[in-house]
Structure formats: structure tokens, C-alpha cells
Amino acid sequence: MKEKTVINILFCGTGGQGVLTAAEIVSLASMYDGYHTKKSEVHGMAQRGGSVESHVRFACKVCNTVASPLIEEGAANFLVPFYKSERDRLLSFLAPDGVDMLKDLEEANNLPNKKFINTFMLGRLSKHLNITQASWLKALEVGFKGKLIEENRKVFLEAANRIEA
């Protein structure tokens, strides 16, 4: 069953951490599953380690529409940080019943290869969303443009299978 309400996901980090790629992959996966999806990016000095954030919003096409790509403060269902300071800065966007994925980031920081932190976070996020695994895997392949796809798929599936949904 598709999500009847609008799902709001806020990704945040600094330049070069894969924030925009992660947001693109969630957007693609949700669209492959038939959701109406919108995404917005904010990145100023991202190439110099500056702040990067991306808003992803999606809902069932029949049940609801997503009018704006931007999430209002206090309305994010999920806050997906790639850098703790950015999470602290954007915490006001998280809904009172929203999911702060800081603990998942702390675990991701223990990965032997930091290149896969964004993939790990996507795996964790996937367990909270009503998106098929086939759509996730297709989006991973498209989002990473075939780069290190086997490694990304492995990290995603391991992260997705480690948590209780």
C-alpha cells in the first residue's frame, strides 16, 4: 500500500559527503514505485566543505500531491545527517514524531571505507519507507552511474537488514 500522507526527508551534510546523491537515489526509488516526488537542493560553497541540504518529498499520486519541494520547519519525518553539526543546525525541521538518524550516522562512521556512508544511511532509511527493494536497487545503480555498484549494493543491503523496521 502506498503512503497516503506526504513523506518529508531532509538530508544534510557538507560538500563531498554524498548528500545530493543520496537524495537523488531516494527520489528515483520513490518515483520507480509510482510516487509523486519532488526534490530541492541547497548548496552554496559545497565544493569547499560548506553546508549542503536536500529536501525530498513524496506521496501517493492518487491520494495526495506534493505542491512544494521544500519542507517546512517541524515537518520532516526523517532527518538524515551526514555531519553532526549540520544535523544540529537543522534539527528544528524535524517533526515532533520524526526520526532523527544521528545514531545511524554514528554507526556509519565506523565503516572501514567512508565512501559508503551515504549508501549505509540509505539502507537504514529504506527500512522506514514503503518503497520496494527492486526500486531501491535500480535507483542505486542509476544514482551511482555504475560506479562501485556491487560494493554500494552490498553496503545498502547490509545496512537495511541490520535494523528492526
Q: Tell me, what's the pLDDT at 165?
A: 42
Q: Tell me, what's the pLDDT at 45?
A: 65
Q: What grid cell was written down for 51?
A: 553546508
- Sorted by sequence, the CB contacts under 8 Å of residue 42 that are 6+ apart come out as 51, 52, 53, 54
Domain count, the chain: 1
Q: Domain holding 112: CATH number?
A: 3.40.920.10
Tens digit of pLDDT per residue, the chain (165 long)? 456 689 999 999 988 888 999 999 999 999 999 999 999 988 766 666 788 999 999 998 877 788 889 999 999 999 999 999 999 999 999 999 999 999 999 999 999 999 999 999 999 999 999 999 999 999 999 999 877 899 999 999 999 997 554
* Domain housing 65: 7-160
Is the residue at 165 inside a domain?
A: no
Is the residue at 1 inside a domain?
A: no
What is the reported pTM? 0.91
